[in-house]
Amino acid sequence: MKYSPDDLQRFLDVATEAASAGGAVLQYYWGNLSNVQQKGRPGDLVTEADKAAEKEVLSVLKLHFPDHAILAEESGSISAKSQKAAADLLWAVDPLDGTTNYAHQYPFCGCSVGLLIDGQPAVGAIFEPVHGALFRAAKGLGATCNRQPIHVSDTESLAESLLVTGFAYDRRETIDNNYAEFCHLTHLTRGVRRGGSASIDLAFVACGRLDGYWERGLSPWDVAAGVILVQEAGGQVSAYDQGPFDIQTGRILATNGNVHSELSEALGKVKPFERFAPQ
């Protein structure tokens, strides 16, 4: 189904309401956690803030779109409740992207609400609770931070760029752990940061604070909102090899566009560090 700009604006308004509601919960619990648990792999944490924020986000989405399908980090897949529901729509929710940061009061985290249409990111809202920054975008409607237009940087070369990346929870279990890529790109650029929140990483590329981002091992809820932010801010999103972006692969390359090919080529030349191979 083709959706009009008015449809997309309505979706964006609801995503904004949901992300803001979840973000308000994160602000409430900031520095006041009493229950931090490990879900599985080392570093994969969940707190009462994750759960409470997700409850608020889902409440907003279900109020406005009770028939829509939802994929949420803590609740999993929530199927559409009627046959009339649009089969091409899926909300992807990360109530607290950057839980480890949040639990340590490291101010780099966000509540991310994205909408996929036919599997492609089309609408996104990310609320960064520590500084109160609200990032929003929808296909064809532009990208903003606190309602002001944003645009990617104009950095022309990899040597002049500041990049960001991350390391998946399975990094101790696979040789494909991004360690070698991190070192290689650190050597070629002005620096590589490790933010610890994919949604905020993408938001920072969208508003020009960073020039590029790559990562593997991601889930759809990690990037659904951030991808459309980068695209609507004038950036480029693809697979590592510059092929079409596929949210199901868990891999992403997002840049200001100018350094995209150079970063892709650099990633393609890296071989994993054998010393960090699983034993």
Domain boundaries, the chain: 5-149, 158-272
Q: 5-149 with 158-272: one CATH topology?
A: no
Q: Considering the domain 5-149, what is its CATH architecture?
A: 2-Layer Sandwich (3.30)
User: Which run of H or of E encompasses 114?
Assistant: strand 110-117
Q: What pLDDT was estimated at residue 158?
A: 98
Q: What pLDDT was estimated at residue 97?
A: 97
According to CATH, what is the number of the domain 158-272? 3.40.190.80
Beta-carbon contacts of 203 under 8 Å, excluding residues fewer than 6 positions away, are: 110, 126, 128, 133, 135, 145, 226, 229
Q: What pLDDT was estimated at residue 170?
A: 77
**Cβ atoms 155, 147 nearer than 8 A:** no
The pLDDT profile of the chain, 279 residues, written as one tens digit per residue, is 789 999 999 999 999 999 999 999 999 999 988 888 887 666 677 889 999 999 999 999 999 999 999 999 888 887 766 555 678 999 999 999 999 999 999 999 999 999 999 999 999 999 999 999 999 999 999 999 999 999 999 999 999 999 999 998 777 778 788 999 999 999 999 999 999 999 999 999 999 999 999 999 999 999 999 999 999 999 999 999 999 999 999 999 999 999 999 999 999 999 887 766 666
Instruction: List, in sequence order, every beta strand (DSSP E) within the chain.
Output: 36-38, 45-47, 69-72, 76-78, 89-97, 110-117, 120-128, 133-138, 142-145, 148-149, 162-165, 191-194, 212-215, 236-238, 252-255
Supply the DSSP symbol for 111.
E
CB atoms under 10 Å from CB of 221, counted, come to 24
